[in-house]
Amino acid sequence: MRTTVGIIGAGPAGLLLARLLHDAGIDSVVLESRDRVYVEHRQRAGILEQGTVDVLRAAGAGERMDREGLRHDGMELRFARRRHRVDFPGLTGGRSVMVYAQTEVCKDLIALQLKEGGPLLFEAEALAVEGADGDRPRVRFRHQGREEVLECDYVAGCDGFWGVSRAAVPASLARVSERTYPFGWLGILAEVPPSHDELVYARHDRGFALLSMRSPSVSRLYLQVPADTDAAAWSDEEIWDELERRLETDDDWTLNRGPITQKSVTPMRSYVHEPMRHGRLFLAGDAAHIVPPTGAKGLNLAVGDVVTLARALTHEKETGSAELLDAYSATCLRRVWQAERFSYDMTTMLHRASDATSFDDGLQLAALDRIASSRAAGTDLAEGYTGFPIG
């Protein structure tokens, strides 16, 4: 089997890249180790930056998102029982975010790929990327019980942190920067309407809490917990009680409770692999970088990567110049490191360490008060949350 771009991974990065390449007249093959049902139901991110929304619309994947997604023009910060709304459009010149789950983005892109795009092979496990530093890279993969080879001009590694793509970059050429946090998020899905019409980020002496949603009838909520927490050790009543404590305010706001349908613990880490290119192999998304979820940057960073790669491949096709391909890693990493900074700042401002002192508490509250009282500080948060420029 031969194609121009071999894409490993059918998450939002790989699927969107295939769509962008299709629109540019560049053929591709997408290999996905899981089956379609798994890909369309794995719970991940749910916040789309303005730039991601714009890209999906331009790619023809925005119709259902615009119909069913929830546009948010702001977010609420809670601290010391106070409430402060951050007005996104007012601080950024009109930008907002969209609540639309990654599962739904994948469903939309899969439908488009199967209808109009190139081959999308489910249950096709990539085994290795070979010859990335030569002119004819290839991907060995297993599909329907047989080992096969996909020959390409380029390989896009969109296969996540545990995929094979990053392993094809020689360790001697790589630099890894990472931080592991001592806490995680206990997350729940609940069949109950959200208790607020926008996301609520709460800093509390007992730890961080987040009120989010998946739809007008389904709430998504999170609690900061120790990293080694077993989600099953928390009863539903204990979770609701703790959320109520951490989200409390001095007014008459109340938390809606309902049946919890899913609970899990998400670890927190920051990770960057440099470079994001080796020869004709290009890393994108979690294969190259991970952010703590506090800044809602993971999926959006992946979109930025593949938009940058698609532009570079289109430029090479149209002009014969590899200038943008050669700049891919540096271009992406500028945005990646800004997102890492933003996510780290959000995480350290809102989460309370187990050994926090009164000085640490004072710094957190001062940072939040600064955002609430300074337009400049509020603008910095709003610009970061709604998204850094792509490319």
Report the alpha-carbon distance of residue 305 to residue 309 in Å, rounded.
6
For this structure, is 293 an active site residue?
yes
Residue 7: closest CA among 331, 26, 24, 255: 26
For this structure, is 38 an active site residue?
no
Q: What angle do CA 129, 130, 131 make, to 5 degrees?
A: 135
Token duo for residue 14: 């790989």
Report the alpha-carbon distance of residue 115 to residue 269 in Å, rounded.
37
Instruction: Write down the catalytic residue from 100, 154, 328, 385.
Output: 385
Instruction: Write down the catalytic residue from 72, 204, 278, 351.
Output: 72
Token duo for residue 99: 């609540």
The total of other beta-carbon atoms located within 10 Å of residue 104's CB is 17
The total of other beta-carbon atoms located within 10 Å of residue 216's CB is 11
Cβ–Cβ < 8 Å for 124, 139: no
Cβ–Cβ < 8 Å for 390, 335: yes
For this structure, is 385 an active site residue?
yes
Token duo for residue 321: 């110049």
For this structure, is 89 an active site residue?
no
Residues in the chain: 391
Instruction: Write down the catalytic residue from 201, 222, 278, 289.
Output: 201
Per DSSP, helices labelled H in the chain are: 12-23, 36-39, 50-58, 63-68, 88-92, 102-116, 236-246, 298-319, 323-326, 328-350, 358-373, 375-386
For this structure, is 84 an active site residue?
no
The total of other beta-carbon atoms located within 10 Å of residue 278's CB is 22
Instruction: Write down the catalytic residue from 196, 273, 297, 351.
Output: 297
Strands ordered across the beta sheet of 124-130: 124-130, 138-143, 146-151
Instruction: Write down the catalytic residue from 107, 293, 328, 351.
Output: 293
- Work out the burial of residue 215: count CB atoms within 10 Å of its CB; fewer than 13 is exposed, 13-18 middle, 19 or more buried: middle
Cβ–Cβ < 8 Å for 305, 13: yes
Give the active site residues: 72, 201, 293, 297, 385
